[in-house]
Amino acid sequence: MVALLRDRFYEGYRRHMKNGYYPIPDREVMRDIYEQYHALGGNGVITHLMEELDELPTYEQ
C-alpha cells in the first residue's frame, strides 16, 4: 500500500510541478495521500515534495 500511495503522490507531484499551479481540490487529495502514506510508515522524502507543492499558486497564472 505504501508503494501505491508513493507512486500516486509522485504522479500528482510531477503533473503539478510541470503545470506550475496546484488547484485547491487537488491539494485536498494530495494531502490525504500524504497523510495516509505517513500513517502507514512512509519516509520523509515526500514531506519535502509536499512543501514544494504548497508553494505553487492555486490557479494558472
Residue 6: which pLDDT band, with cuts at 50, 70 and 90? very high
pLDDT at position 48 is: 94
Residue 59 forms part of a structural domain: no
CA distance 26 to 13: 10
Count: domains in the chain: 1
Specify the 3-state DSSP secondary structure of 1: coil
- For 10, 12, 41, the CA distances from 26, given in Å and listed in that order, are 13, 8, 23
Residue 43: which pLDDT band, with cuts at 50, 70 and 90? confident
pLDDT at position 46 is: 94
Residue 33: which pLDDT band, with cuts at 50, 70 and 90? very high
CA distance 31 to 25: 10
Q: Tell me which residue range forms the domain holding 48.
A: 2-54
pLDDT at position 45 is: 87
Mean pLDDT calculated for residue range 15-32: 97
- 1 close to 37: Cβ distance less than 8 angstroms: no
